[in-house]
A and B are shown apart, each in its own frame.
Chain A
Amino acid sequence: MKKVGKQSYIMQNPVAIVNTACIVGPKEKEGPMHTYFDQCVEDEFWGEKTWEKAESKFIKESINLAVSKSGIAMQDIDFCFAGDLLNQCISSSFGLRESNVPFFGVFGACSTFVESMILGSMTIDGDFATNVLCAASSHFCSAEKQFRFPLELGNQRPPSSQWTVTGAGASVLSKNGNGPFVTAITPGKIVDKEIKDANNMGAAMAPAALDTLITHFIDTGRKPSYYDAIFTGDLGYIGKDILTDLSMSKGYNIKGNYNDCGVLMFDKEKQDTHSGGSGCGCVASIFSGFIYKNLIEKKYNKVLVIATGALMNSTSSQQGESIPGIAHAISIENK
């Protein structure tokens, strides 16, 4: 791994994404992305007694599916990096407790999936591992319960609010494989523009996405046109709009090849999801489904994925703290 510029790294050894898997819930199935998912579950409980158990099952099953699709045996996986939104990352640890794989719990809010992929790429490139598993999950019902109100409460959501995706995504990274390959990473730093509205996460996270995006371009010397597509993870409609504007103000026009996973996930008009999807499961399932399949089919050859996270919880919000954002970028290319 070679450091370029301030905070970007170019991989020296190939880090191949051998395979991915994603499993989502019923609302995601109704969305425009449903053809790219490996499995859509009809029942939000998935036969379990609690939302938390259901979320663990999502991550557990998607990990098993990704590993079996990759053709690598579970005992040959050296590390697993995984995370979710629930307190102390219980979905991941409960979902992985029977896997017998050395486990690192990761928290980066909605940026967790790319954070895991970055850590996985680093361990492979640094020769610490041959095969690494990366995963993340979220569940609408467990997230609502933890962060907002009970599901049955008859309240209204403001237009800037986002809808937590029910689903999980997993990817298997390996030293050996035919690609697509992780070629560069730009881990992000915390950016806080003092947005306090927990119903407008897109606006809180967009400055962090901008910081990572611009830093990535400056460090690597690449331009927006270098990539076939640039994706952010869950800025939603408002955040996407803000990021497009802000990067334009810095002299980078990303309008032509930029989209957001939260925007792609749902049909805004039909599904009443306001500003779009969010949650760790959003970028995890869109990457493992839509983006990865397009890379395999060579519709995309160079992709930049920037996952954004809002690093807050309900206590910090109630205490009047602002919402610090973070964004991690990973560049994936076919060779």
Chain B
Amino acid sequence: MFFIKPIESNEDYQKYVDEKTPNSPIWKDCFNAFWVGGLICAIGQVIFEICKMRGVGETNCYAIVSIMLIFFSAFLTSLNIFNKIGKFAGAGSLIPITGFANSIVSPAMEYKSEGYVMGVGAKMFTVAGPVLVYGISSSIIVGLIYLIFNMQYISLV
């Protein structure tokens, strides 16, 4: 019969638990994230090329791509499809702008039961909030660094 040594200390227990707990299937997850993420980007590129062919200016094309991908993601979220894609692809659908749209639409749907002000309004950014706060903060810091190193090109007219 198989006997194991009694585990007394918390550290030993943590070590034992780490051994017992299966890890996420990292290679499978990476592969799915890679091709789904790539596919989303390819769809974006197709939208871009179509707009360009129709004579839309390049800056506007970028805006149209973002708007359309956000729309598709929000729409699929509302149909209970995006969470299935997200479960399958992980970061593949989370990192592109589609994940950002999903992270705003999903709490809005979930908290609608608490009303439009304290529910949808207050809780809409519970998931996306940290991304916005640190995204904007870091862009300011990067901007300041750029400013310091490129002082000579800036004219304070």
Main secondary structure of the interface of A (DSSP, over half): loop
Binary contact track A46-61/B, C-beta < 8 Å → 1, others 0: 0001111000000000
Q: Are B4 and A249 in contact (CB under 8 A)?
A: yes
Pick out which of these stretches binds chain B: A173-181, A222-230, A239-247. A239-247
Query: B24: shortest Cβ distance to chain A, in Å?
Result: 6
Q: How many A-B residue pairs have CB under 8 A?
A: 100
Q: What residues of B have a CB within 8 angstroms of the CB of A238 in the complex?
A: 20-22
Whether A151 lies near B4 (C-beta < 8 A) is no
Contact indicator B83/A193 (Cβ below 8 Å): no
Map CB proximity to A onto B4-25 as digits: 1 under 8 Å, 0 otherwise: 1111001001101100111110
A274: nearest chain-B partner, CB-CB: B22
Q: A194-B10, A203-B17 are in contact. Are A155 and B87 (CB under 8 A)?
A: yes
Does B37 make an interface contact (CB < 8 A)?
no
Task: Give the chain B neighbours of A203 by CB distance below 8 A.
Answer: 17, 20-21
In the complex, are the beta carbons of B4 and A245 less than 8 A apart? yes
Specify the chain B residue showing the minimal Cβ separation from A155.
B86
A107 vs chain B, min Cβ distance (A): 23
Within 8 Å of chain A (Cβ to Cβ): is B58? no
Residues 67-117 (chain B) with a chain A CB within 8 angstroms:
77-78, 80, 82-87, 89-90, 93-94, 99, 102-103, 105-107, 109-111, 113
- Which among A52, A145, A153, A253 has the greatest number of chain B C-beta atoms within 10 A? A153
How far, in whole Å, are A217 and B111 apart by their CA atoms in the complex? 47
14 further A-B contacts with Cβ under 8 Å, apart from A150-B111, A160-B21, A248-B2, are A149-B106, A149-B127, A150-B107, A151-B83, A152-B102, A153-B106, A153-B127, A154-B84, A154-B87, A155-B83, A156-B29, A156-B90, A195-B13, A241-B20
Query: A residues near B, CB below 8 A?
Result: 49-52, 145, 149-160, 193-195, 200, 203, 207, 238, 241-242, 245-246, 248-250, 253
